[in-house]
A and B are shown apart, each in its own frame.
Chain A
Amino acid sequence: MTLSIQFHQLTKQFGETIALWRAEEQFHPGDRISLLGHNGAGKSTLLHILATLTKPTSGTVTWHLDGEACSDVRRVRARLSFLSHEPMLYPDLTALENLQFINRLYRRGLSDSELVGLLDQVGMAIHKDRLFRTCSRGMQQRISLARALLPEPEMLLLDEPFSGLDGEGVARMKDVFTRAHTCWLMVTHHLQHGYELANRFWIMNRGRLVHSLHKSDLSYEAYLKLCQGSKMEARNS
């Protein structure tokens, strides 16, 4: 059960604006990548393309499932999870009902007690019958994490996953992300988390993927300099 992604000359244009320009990289099983860059660098666009949400203007993405290239997006979608600051859960349903919906949609066949167990992992089991709309921002983010983990994805695509979480919530989420065999690609502006959790870094600037580095090649100081450098460059130009 492995999933890897390869993309080649990936470009996305919105009219005349270029959001992503000829990006090329690979995502191997076991990678934990922090995707960094200033606002408008094209991080989210890249993430959306890899999550099968949008199609690139030109260039190709190849998803390899168990070593074989797979062009059926539905099979890819079953093995990916996307977690962003927008929860993708229905406000008029309770936390448990929302998970039941996802459970049916993904045909996971989990029982209600297993779903409650999942909520327990994010510390939300006591709020299982609470309407999602009445939950606080941080609680909603925790339930979203439970939602993302429900399909047992082989890869998580994360867009600012820590937003709105309290200290305990952050700790729980970090716990999930550092579990064995968890691979992810995370867009974040929190430089410390970005360094701590990842083993690889992609740094983007103005639609281009400018650096791709391993943690072993990069000290925290050099990392900070690089991240800030990409911001400075953007400000100067």
Chain B
Amino acid sequence: MKLSIKDLLIFTLLTVTMELALIWALQIAPPDRMQGDVQRIFYFHLGSIWPGFLAFFYVMYGSARYLAGRDLHWDRKSLASGEIGLVFCTIVLTTGPIWAKPTWGVWWSWDARLTSTVVLWLIFLGYINLRHYIDDESKRPRISAILGIVGACVVPFVYMSTRLFETQHPKPVIMGDEDSGIKDPNMTIALVLAMAAFTLLYICLWRIAVTQFQARDRLDKLKTRLSLLEDEY
């Protein structure tokens, strides 16, 4: 694989922001007054949900482009985005409980954010999983694209409904609202850096995945051509 200048640039930028984010989040930002050092995981927690959303909306965009033009590249691009989105979503779901245990005293609570993230994760999983069960390869991109669009349309409704639900019912645990902690400007800087770093990570991984899919497609095409040549003789 040949790296383009663009790839190198993104990669350098990613390394730098990731380092800075680590330094700021773990060293410079002061510990939370109530939660102490545990709160630091929050920078990475919130940092990964953002690319998760981004990934989903890209799936919707890519799927729509595929259905409009039936260009296989768009299918690969949305699939790559979906897979990486699932990874980020998983990071959110694992860092969440690690943070929740010391602050709330339980690993899990049916908080609106948690509930909606689980649903988001399940939708992602459904989208990725579906294509493994479609045997006909010529059908696969079309069917997945339709599910990708429907899934992305559901996401805002999931968030709205869980919020609406929470305003009517008392929350199980009131402590640990993430907005309460941010007072120090260094905390804001750490958060912004973490979000930027994870977004760059998403872009970087996505580019690698797309190249990988394209290489595989090219290989398949060559194989087909080879079998055709063998036919001739």
Q: Is there a direct interface between A and B, measured as CB atoms under 8 Å apart in the complex? A: yes
Q: Kindly state the separation between the CA atoms of A209 and B136 in the bound complex, as whole angstroms.
A: 23
Residue among B136, B138, B223, B224 facing the most chain A CB atoms (10 A cut-off): B138
Whether the Cβ atoms of B136 and A16 lie closer than 8 Å is: no
By beta carbon, the residue of chain B nearest A54 is: B138
Q: Kindly state the separation between the CA atoms of A18 and B137 in the bound complex, as whole angstroms.
A: 12
Whether the Cβ atoms of A16 and B138 lie closer than 8 Å is: no
Q: Hey, which chain B residues are within 8 Å of A16, CB to CB?
A: 220, 223-224, 227
Whether the Cβ atoms of B138 and A12 lie closer than 8 Å is: yes
In angstroms, how far is the closest chain B Cβ from the Cβ of A120?
40
**Chain B at the A interface: SS class:** helix
Among B70, B136, B220, B224, point to the contact of A18 (Cβ < 8 A).
B224
Whether the Cβ atoms of B136 and A55 lie closer than 8 Å is: no
Residue among B136, B227, B228, B231 facing the most chain A CB atoms (10 A cut-off): B231
Among B70, B224, B227, B231, point to the contact of A55 (Cβ < 8 A).
B70
By beta carbon, the residue of chain B nearest A12 is: B138
Q: Hey, which chain A residues are within 8 Å of B137, CB to CB?
A: 13-15
In angstroms, how far is the closest chain A Cβ from the Cβ of B224?
6
Interface string of A1-45 (1 = CB under 8 A from B): 000000000001111101001000000000000000000000000
Q: A55-B70, A206-B231 are in contact. Are A14 and B138 (CB under 8 A)?
A: yes
In angstroms, how far is the closest chain A Cβ from the Cβ of B43?
44
Whether the Cβ atoms of A14 and B224 lie closer than 8 Å is: no
Q: Hey, which chain A residues are within 8 Å of B70, CB to CB?
A: 55
Q: Kindly state the separation between the CA atoms of A112 and B142 in the bound complex, as whole angstroms.
A: 40
Q: Kindly state the separation between the CA atoms of A18 and B231 in the bound complex, as whole angstroms.
A: 12
In angstroms, how far is the closest chain B Cβ from the Cβ of A21?
8
By beta carbon, the residue of chain B nearest A15 is: B137
Residue A212 is within 8 A (CB to CB) of chain B in the complex:
no
Q: Kindly state the separation between the CA atoms of A12 and B70 in the bound complex, as whole angstroms.
A: 14
Q: Kindly state the separation between the CA atoms of A126 and B138 in the bound complex, as whole angstroms.
A: 44
Q: Hey, which chain A residues are within 8 Å of B136, CB to CB?
A: 14
Q: Kindly state the separation between the CA atoms of A237 and B227 in the bound complex, as whole angstroms.
A: 13
By beta carbon, the residue of chain B nearest A55 is: B70
Q: Hey, which chain B residues are within 8 Å of A55, CB to CB?
A: 70
Q: Hey, which chain B residues are within 8 Å of A21, CB to CB?
A: 228
Q: Hey, which chain A residues are within 8 Å of B138, CB to CB?
A: 12-15, 54, 57
Q: Kindly state the separation between the CA atoms of A15 and B141 in the bound complex, as whole angstroms.
A: 12
By beta carbon, the residue of chain A nearest B142 is: A55
Q: Kindly state the separation between the CA atoms of A12 and B137 in the bound complex, as whole angstroms.
A: 11
In angstroms, how far is the closest chain A Cβ from the Cβ of B142?
9
In angstroms, how far is the closest chain A Cβ from the Cβ of B175?
54
In angstroms, how far is the closest chain B Cβ from the Cβ of A116?
39
By beta carbon, the residue of chain A nearest B72 is: A57
Q: Hey, which chain A residues are within 8 Å of B224, CB to CB?
A: 13, 16, 18
Q: Kindly state the separation between the CA atoms of A116 and B138 in the bound complex, as whole angstroms.
A: 41
Q: Kindly state the separation between the CA atoms of A206 and B231 in the bound complex, as whole angstroms.
A: 10
Interface string of B204-233 (1 = CB under 8 A from A): 000000000000000010011001100100
Q: Kindly state the separation between the CA atoms of A13 and B72 in the bound complex, as whole angstroms.
A: 13
In angstroms, how far is the closest chain A Cβ from the Cβ of B225?
10
In angstroms, how far is the closest chain A Cβ from the Cβ of B216?
12
Q: Hey, which chain A residues are within 8 Å of B223, CB to CB?
A: 16
Q: Hey, which chain A residues are within 8 Å of B231, CB to CB?
A: 206, 237
Chain A residues numbered 55-114 whose CB sits less than 8 Å from any CB in chain B: 55, 57
Q: Hey, which chain B residues are within 8 Å of A237, CB to CB?
A: 231
By beta carbon, the residue of chain A nearest B136 is: A14
By beta carbon, the residue of chain B nearest A57 is: B138
Chain B residues numbered 122-179 whose CB sits less than 8 Å from any CB in chain A: 136-138
Chain B contact residues, CB within 8 Å of chain A: 70, 136-138, 220, 223-224, 227-228, 231
Q: List 13 A-B contacts (CB under 8 A).
A: A12-B138, A14-B136, A14-B137, A14-B138, A15-B137, A16-B220, A16-B224, A16-B227, A18-B224, A18-B228, A21-B228, A57-B138, A237-B231
Q: Which 6 A-B pairs have the closest CB atoms?
A: A15-B137, A16-B224, A14-B138, A14-B137, A14-B136, A16-B223
Chain A contact residues, CB within 8 Å of chain B: 12-16, 18, 21, 54-55, 57, 206, 237
